Amino acid sequence: MGRGREKIEFDVLFVGGGPANLAGAIHLMQLATSKGIHLEVAMIEKGAEIGCHALSGAVLNPIALAELMPDYREKGCPIEVDVRGEELRFLTETSQYRVPFVPRYMKNRGFHIISLSRFVRWLAEIAEGLGVNIFPGFAGKEVRYASDRKTVIGIRTGDKGLGKDGRPRANFEPGIDILAKVTVLGEGAGGSLLREVSGALNIFSGKMPQTFETGIKEVIELPEGNYFLSSRGNVIHTFGYPLGLNTHGGGFIYQMKDNRVSVGFVVGLSYRDPMLDLYEEFMRFKRHPFAQRIISGGRVLEHGARTLTSSGYYSIPKLSVDGAVFVGTGASMLNAPALKGIHTSMKSGMLAAETMIEAFQKGDFTQDTLNCYQELIESTWLKEELYRGRNFAQTVSKEGLIKFFHLGAQYLTGGRGIIDKMPIAKDSDTLKSLRPEASPRKKVKAVYDDVLFVDKLTGVYLSKTQHREDQPSHLIIHDPKLCVEQCFRTYRCPCTRFCPGNVYELEIDENTDEKRLKVNPANCLHCKTCEIKDPYGNITWTCPEGGDGPKYTIV
């Protein structure tokens, strides 16, 4: 199938249409124009359109955007509302307490609440206006290397039109090789090409493991005149119930325009209880009297889920190799204590752009020149911000109240704390095996009204997720027997609970007690939780056909 494959060449190829790559592409074109350098630049995005797979909180710290485009408001940046004030609430099962102060890194006043999906669409229009060729609906399937096996020369997009059996159908279109002098991987958390580069070139060697959080989020339309829409604190974060203090995570409610709020719940994937169901925790949060006071009478308009990389500074990989650089949250560019990754991702893309301009001026695309990107990060606010949060994710992943003591010490010492380089386990290693005497987690009363409380499948419907059914499964289960034997015995198949899309179902034959793990790849929200949290490394998430997956417009 390799023969006759089409090849296209560019100077720079951006893989992924998120904020890091879009800011990088815009900045690259700005710099190239100012220096009189002509560049052919392309960007591919696996979603059907730019923004289809973009989901985030999302409170935008505009620092990087203002550097990129000081007149962003005049240029029509789609801001939902500005942050008037923020509140931090501690929830118990039936009550709530307002924390009297908000940690400085969580202060958001003057920042903007955005829909990331809308925001990246707007950035894409600007990038196209500057000459970037954007190709949505193309998934990067594999990295292409030069004959030395260490210089990245581009990527191969996925084939389209394969049947479930992997054989070409009548409408088969082979993937194309998109080659470039520099390839920029900005796929977001858990990117499959970055994983491939990591395996081939060991870019995470000596780094702390990347750890993740999964967020489930909805945009809810509220009845007219809801008090929250004019309240002083229009950004609310919560902790405590329903996770308790041993599992990291919490809820958020942000005001949007047009009587809407974005409501979400984030769970640190370092959690230990294999019976924890991420979706049920989100429902518990929504049913809490505090959340109910705001959202009751509302209607869910859109729903989605995504993981983000929370481990921060100590898990940043080597950021360049010959012919490629790595940007955005996939490369750990997220400020976990501030709960923000958009501005840090954008800045990483912009610094990568500055390095690429230098590379084109020198005509040298080896790591010797591209390594300048790492040095630029070290000399900017990006390093300072990430460095201040360097022990945060490691600390909150721990059990017991001692972690609050460590957090306090870090708060007072610019992030250093008592143990600098606080150790952390991989998220796939933290589940505790089930003890027979362990009492199962109380199930949430599964009352769904299909309006404000929607079940998992309705959530998938509201994410507008679609996959062509007759294609090879993009979720590879390496050993199905392991799932129903070892994993069932030890953890009761936690994939059936951590997946927010109801992709994994355990079927048990009533007569024979035979078990089978049924996989519904068509429901997949592309959040990547399964590959990250699976305790046996038995699930690999690969890109389905380009254009498949969620079609977010406002989350």
Interface residue list for ligand SF4 (CB under 6 A): 475, 499-501, 503, 524-530, 541
d(CA 549, CA 276): 25
Q: What angle do CA 467, 469, 475 make, to 5 degrees?
A: 70
Q: What is the DSSP string of 230-283?
A: G-S--EEEEEETTT-SSS-EEEEEEE-STTEEEEEEEEETT---TT--HHHHHH
Smallest gap from residue 321 Cβ to ligand SF4 (A): 27
Nearer to ligand SF4 among residue 177 and residue 545 (C-beta): 545
Smallest gap from residue 453 Cβ to ligand SF4 (A): 19
Nearer to ligand SF4 among residue 22 and residue 524 (C-beta): 524
Nearer to ligand SF4 among residue 389 and residue 544 (C-beta): 544
Smallest gap from residue 339 Cβ to ligand SF4 (A): 21
In the three-class reduction of DSSP (H, G, I as helix; E, B as strand; rest coil), residue 342 is classed as helix
Residue holding tokens 């992943």? 397
Query: How would you classify the pairing of strands 324-326 and 79-82?
Result: unpaired
Nearer to ligand SF4 among residue 174 and residue 459 (C-beta): 459
Nearer to ligand SF4 among residue 54 and residue 201 (C-beta): 54
Nearer to ligand SF4 among residue 86 and residue 531 (C-beta): 531
d(CA 113, CA 129): 25
Smallest gap from residue 280 Cβ to ligand SF4 (A): 15
Helix then strand then coil, in percent of the chain rounded to 5, is: 30, 25, 45
Are 60 and 114 spatial neighbours (Cβ–Cβ below 8 Å)?
Answer: yes
Rounded to the nearest 10 degrees, what angle do helices 342-362 and 19-35 cross at? 40
Are 114 and 79 spatial neighbours (Cβ–Cβ below 8 Å)?
Answer: yes
Nearer to ligand SF4 among residue 146 and residue 457 (C-beta): 457
Smallest gap from residue 454 Cβ to ligand SF4 (A): 15
d(CA 352, CA 341): 16
Nearer to ligand SF4 among residue 394 and residue 523 (C-beta): 523
Contacts of 205 (CB under 8 A, 6+ apart): 318
Nearer to ligand SF4 among residue 192 and residue 395 (C-beta): 192
Residue type, 522: A
Nearer to ligand SF4 among residue 134 and residue 525 (C-beta): 525
Nearer to ligand SF4 among residue 370 and residue 530 (C-beta): 530
Q: Kindly give the residue spans of alpha helices, DSSP state H, lying in 51-101.
A: 63-68
Identify whether 331 is preceded by a cis peptide bond (ω within 30 of 0).
Answer: no
Q: Kindly give the residue spans of alpha helices, DSSP state H, lying in 363-401.
A: 367-370, 372-378, 381-388, 392-396
Smallest gap from residue 202 Cβ to ligand SF4 (A): 25
Smallest gap from residue 325 Cβ to ligand SF4 (A): 26
- Using alpha carbons, select from 236, 244, 288, 235 the residue that is nearest to residue 444: 288
Are 337 and 396 spatial neighbours (Cβ–Cβ below 8 Å)?
Answer: no
CA count, 13 A, side-chain hemisphere, 321: 23
Smallest gap from residue 470 Cβ to ligand SF4 (A): 19
Smallest gap from residue 288 Cβ to ligand SF4 (A): 25
Smallest gap from residue 243 Cβ to ligand SF4 (A): 18
Smallest gap from residue 542 Cβ to ligand SF4 (A): 10
Are 77 and 346 spatial neighbours (Cβ–Cβ below 8 Å)?
Answer: no
Nearer to ligand SF4 among residue 319 and residue 475 (C-beta): 475
Smallest gap from residue 495 Cβ to ligand SF4 (A): 7
In the three-class reduction of DSSP (H, G, I as helix; E, B as strand; rest coil), residue 357 is classed as helix
- Using alpha carbons, select from 305, 380, 391 the residue that is nearest to residue 348: 380
Nearer to ligand SF4 among residue 323 and residue 501 (C-beta): 501
Main-chain dihedrals φ then ψ at residue 215, nearest 5 degrees: -115, 135
In the three-class reduction of DSSP (H, G, I as helix; E, B as strand; rest coil), residue 139 is classed as coil
Query: How would you classify the pairing of strands 86-91 and 96-98?
Result: antiparallel
In the three-class reduction of DSSP (H, G, I as helix; E, B as strand; rest coil), residue 549 is classed as strand
Smallest gap from residue 500 Cβ to ligand SF4 (A): 6
Are 361 and 340 spatial neighbours (Cβ–Cβ below 8 Å)?
Answer: no
Strand partners, 476: 540
Residue holding tokens 């038995």? 538
